[in-house]
Structure 1
Amino acid sequence: MYEVELKFPLPDGADRDAVLKALAERGAEFGESVTQTDVYFNHPVRDFAETDEALRVRTVTGSDGVPHGRMTYKGPKVDADTKTRVEFEPQLAAGPDDVHALAEALRRLGFREVFTVSKSRRTARLTVSGSDGRHEYEVTQDSIQGLGEYLEIETAADDDALDAARKAVLAFAAEIGLKKSERRSYLEMMLERSETAGAGGRGT
């Protein structure tokens, strides 16, 4: 399966309100805010910054205060318009021990920590009907420490449905008033910001 995704800086003022209103009119209801802490790792024998891959261990903590873990691998982007890429995301059991154990196992295998990205996230799921059928979207509103607010639109597709899914995501984003998508990951933006501030190299 492919993750078909677009990400946009959330505009300010009236434009921001218009985007959120357009989503609400299409049935989007955002859930509670959760905290996500993503620790990114680099491969011991190849540079993910060069291969456009990503490996992270994520800890998600909701209002109950219980952290849940998951590991995510993302392959290289496959087109120039969206952030479509192969994704594998096995979930871990609740509690911090499994997250720490996985991270420690990766370190002992030679993987190196690159950066930690922290954010709060609200998620909405909606179904949108178009000329090519119905599409299920996950929309997230993110507030990233050091970067600001972003909106992500994501759907999943197999090889047969991939082109239709990419076109549908692009059309949906334009329909709700989003322009100039951001193809860099939060990690890439944070690393570039760190370099600009003179805080060191990419670490990969």
Structure 2
Amino acid sequence: MKYIEVEQKYRLLSPPEGLKAALAARGAEPGTPSRQVDTYYNAPHRDFLSGEIVSEWLRVRVEDGAASLNFKRWYPLEAAVKTHCDEFESTVADAEAVTRLLGALDFTRLTTVDKVREEWLTDGIAVAFDTVAGVGDFVEFEFKGEADTVEEATARIEAFVAGLDIDLGDRIHAGYPHMTLGITPATA
């Protein structure tokens, strides 16, 4: 499942200490928190925001002196609730050069998501605690293990979340750029 991302996101209902304790009990350890500044762009040849449902994002991420270029296409394309996405990401040596390149090709900035992420890894699941400026606190569960299908990866995430025995509240079906642009989950 290379180049496919399967994840689930929840808005944190309470401080994350209980969830972190449950992860530690499973042998997980926290990574070092890092600041990620993600700038999202719209393409001149295809307006990502033109449809009723937004399913594609192009971003440049700067994180702790490193940078990457990323494109995601979420599926099902016309569904408000997505199951997975194609994810094509590569590191870049010079984020400013990529930003200037996109501008020279008439890509326009849509929004910037500024967040602090602390990631834990256990049982083939990356658990990311995100504090997103102006948006709030979230937890994402991303499948990082081996699976033959999206359905298998999804089932593994769901079993993992259920096994934590923590009330996470309702799942969020919108990405951070949706939230910063004011696109509601019902149309995300």
Look up the equivalent residue of 1:31 and give its one-letter code: G
CA distance in 1, matches of 2:9, 2:80: 13
Runs of 4+, deviation exceeding 6 Å: none
Question: Which residue matches 1:64?
Answer: none
Match of 1:17 in 2: 17
Alpha-carbon distance between aligned partners in 1 of 2:55 and 2:174, rounded to the nearest angstrom: 10
Contact 1:53-1:75 within 8 A present in 2 as well = yes
Amino acid at match of 2:58: L
Over 3 Å counting, the alpha-carbon distance change for 1:159 and 1:171 in structure 2 is closer
TM-score w.r.t. structure 1 length? 0.78
**Greater share of helix:** 1
User: For 1:20-61, what per-residue CA distance to the aligned partner results, in whole angstroms no more than 9, with x for missing partners?
Assistant: 221111122111111110000001122213351000000001
Determine if the alignment matches structure 1 residue 7 to structure 2 residue 12: no
CA contact (8 A) 2:38 2:59 kept: yes
Could you say which residue in structure 1 is the equivalent of 2:38?
38
Aligned to 1:151: 139
The alpha-carbon deviation at position 175 of structure 1 amounts to 2.3
Distance 1:36 1:101, change over 3 A: same
Cα RMSD (Å): 2.2
Q: Residue 48 of structure 1 aligns with which residue?
A: 48
Does 2:174 align with 1:181?
Answer: no
Distance 1:125 1:188 in 2: 26
- C-alpha distance in structure 2 between counterparts of 1:84 and 1:106, whole Å: 26
Matched, 1:172 2:157: no
Whichever of the two has the greater Rg, that structure is 1
Whether 1:124 and 2:124 are equivalent positions in the alignment is no
Q: Would the alpha carbon gap of residues 158 and 17 (structure 1) be closer, same or farther in structure 2, given more than 3 Å must change?
A: closer
Deviation for aligned residue 1:171? 2.0
Tell me the amino acid that sits aligned with residue 40 of structure 2.
Y
Structure 1, unpaired ranges of 5+ = 62-66, 128-135, 196-204
Identity of aligned residues (%): 32
